[in-house]
Structure formats: C-alpha cells, structure tokens
Structure 1
Amino acid sequence: MAQDTTELPFIDVRTVPPRERHPRIFGMADALAVGESFVIVNDHDPRPLHYQLQAEYPGQFSWTYLEAGPEVWRVELGRVTAA
C-alpha cells in the first residue's frame, strides 16, 4: 500500500533563494531518522540535487518522483539507512 504523502512534511523551494535551496534541503535530510521522509516541491526537475545526494550520502536516501512537471515537480526524499 502506498504511503499517503499529503501528511508528509515538505519544503517548497520555489520561494527560497536559489543559493539557499540545497543547504536547506540537506539540513532537513540530515535531520531525518531511518524511515522518515519529506517532500520537495520545485518548479523544475531537481535531478542535480539527487546526484549530489548520491555522491555525498551514497545509499542513505530514497528518491521518489510524485509529480514530474511540467510546472510543478514533487519528490519524496526518505532516509533508508543511518548516516
């Protein structure tokens, strides 16, 4: 059964200055316990963030597209293993 993502915490980075987006998302990701997740809302595909997460935290996070544009992108980011 799919998780209900409407109750998950989220960050809408469309309202965050570009240079602050990744640091805020990484801060939220670092605070996650195993099994927890949050949703990133953006106005473009956040794929570069996904690559950065994979490089800096290999295997620690899941990445699930919930909505894939063209105007709004929503990704569920979850912690799958401890740091």
Structure 2
Amino acid sequence: MSTPTAKSTVDVRTIEPRFRHPIIFNTFEELQPGEFLLLVNDHDPAPLRYQFEAERANQFAWEYIEQGPEVWQVHITKKAA
C-alpha cells in the first residue's frame, strides 16, 4: 500500500509571517474533498489550527507528521461538504 501524496506542499519557513496564513488558506481552498496539503513550518502551527477551527469548522482534518523541534509538518485534509 502506498503513502498518499500531498496535493500541495506549503513551506512557510521562508515566507514573511504576515503572508503565511493567507497563502495556506488559499491553497486549502484549491483542494478537492479528500485531498490534503503538507504544511512545513519552523514552529508548532497551533495558532493556524485555531484559526481553521474558527473559520472552517468541520471542513478539515489536522494530522501532525513531524513535531519539531526544528521542523513541524502537518497534513491538512479537506473534508467532504
């Protein structure tokens, strides 16, 4: 059985902080239900998860793939409507 491949990878480590969340949300909106993006960050993106919960409740699944200390990776899957 093969491991699913991310539809998109968003590595925000080199992106100016004020642009990070808009880029991630725009990428998420382009996903089809069942597809996921791989988020790569240099810290725990917990504030982003809280924003997803507030703005996209029940529309996503969040799974940590790597939890630091230097690199954090998260699968953010778009759920079916």
Decide: shared fold, TM above 0.5: yes
Stretches of 4+ moved more than 2 A in 1?
none
For structure 1, the residue ranges without an aligned partner over 5 or more in a row are none
Alignment of 1:2-21 (within 5 A): 4=3, 7-8=5-6, 9-21=8-20
Root-mean-square deviation (CA), in Å? 1.4
Alignment of 1:65-80 (within 5 A): 65-80=64-79
For structure 2, the residue ranges without an aligned partner over 5 or more in a row are none
Report the counterpart of residue 37 of structure 2 in structure 1. 38
Tell me the CA shift for residue 31 of structure 1. Answer: 1.0
Q: Deviations over 1:38-77 (max 9, x none)?
A: 1000000000000100110110000000000000000000
Tell me the CA shift for residue 15 of structure 1. Answer: 1.0
Q: Is the contact made by 1:62 and 1:80 (CA closer than 8 Å) also made in structure 2? A: yes
Over the matched positions of the two proteins, sequence identity in percent amounts to: 49
In the superposition, the TM-score normalised over structure 2's length comes to 0.92
